Amino acid sequence: MIVAFSDLDDTLFQTRRKLPLGMDGLTPATLGRDGQPHSFCTPAQSALLAHFASSGVTLIPVTGRDQAAMARVTLPFTSWRILDHGLTLLRPDGGVDLDWRTYVLTQLEPLQDALADCTAAVTGLAAEHGCRLTRHTAHGTHFMTVFKHPDADATQLEQMQLALEKHVERTYDSGLHVIANANNVSVLPRGLGKSEAVRHLRETQFPHATLTLALGDSLSDLGFMNACDLAITPPGGQLLRTVTAAKLPQR
């Protein structure tokens, strides 16, 4: 049995804005809140999905999307799904896995004060940098605060990220960490996320998988990519851009 754990946005599909102008052969993969096609698979991404489907590879999405945003993904997923950055597991029948929910709530409980305190501590700074603040919940419990810049201003977001990292590293004894994407900076639990969910599913549902693949584009995907046998990442994604920019000495 082969299992592929895959991030969604910017790995299996992306918005038109991120694709070459006038690219042909796009397949809609998600709907926007207005019900119109929003993200698309390129012919290469469609070929990969078709190959997985025809060769019996079990494909498991590993995404930051919540259940509402996942419902707007029109790709046919039939097995387990990892949502909310790993904090929610959906069973193949679509129901929320209650054992994982209980575990997650136990882990989140001692972090509530730190999350609230950290969010309050940088609220003023977020306003100064023009970032909008959103509290995200899983199972009705605060697990992440996201600072989003409406124009994805890299300088403002970097200032925000540095300040947040400084505060978090100084104050919370590794309970929280900061991740950054193209248009946002987020603070969330360090020891509970995509990689823990992937490890949990590997152990409990797929202990006999002969090969596990991991697909992701972002630094925040690295944890779960390291928990699989082989990792696949798209060119131009945050991961490869970072590695390319690092100019590591060749040994």
Taking the complex as a whole, the smallest distance from the CB of residue 10 to Mg ion amounts, in Å, to: 4
Contact between 225 and Mg ion by CB under 5 A: the answer reads no
Contact between 9 and Mg ion by CB under 5 A: the answer reads yes
Interface stretch with Mg ion, choices 6-14, 15-23, 91-99, 166-174 (CB under 5 A): 6-14
Q: Which of 4, 10, 80, 187 binds Mg ion (CB under 5 A)?
A: 10
Per-residue contact track with Mg ion, 162 to 201, x per CB under 5 A? ----------------------------------------
Report how many residues bind Mg ion under the rule CB under 5 A: 5
Contact between 239 and Mg ion by CB under 5 A: the answer reads no
Nearer to Mg ion, 129 or 196 (CB): 196
Contact between 97 and Mg ion by CB under 5 A: the answer reads no
- The strand pairing partners of 135, in sequence order, are 145
Interface stretch with Mg ion, choices 8-16, 26-34, 84-92, 106-114 (CB under 5 A): 8-16
Contact between 7 and Mg ion by CB under 5 A: the answer reads yes
Q: What is the dihedral of CA 4, 106, 169, 173, to 10 degrees?
A: -130
Taking the complex as a whole, the smallest distance from the CB of residue 146 to Mg ion amounts, in Å, to: 14
Taking the complex as a whole, the smallest distance from the CB of residue 170 to Mg ion amounts, in Å, to: 29
CA angle 106, 66, 165 (to 5 degrees): 65
Nearer to Mg ion, 108 or 179 (CB): 179
Interface stretch with Mg ion, choices 13-21, 89-97, 199-207, 214-222 (CB under 5 A): 214-222
Contact between 41 and Mg ion by CB under 5 A: the answer reads no
Binding residues for Mg ion (CB under 5 A): 7, 9-10, 217-218
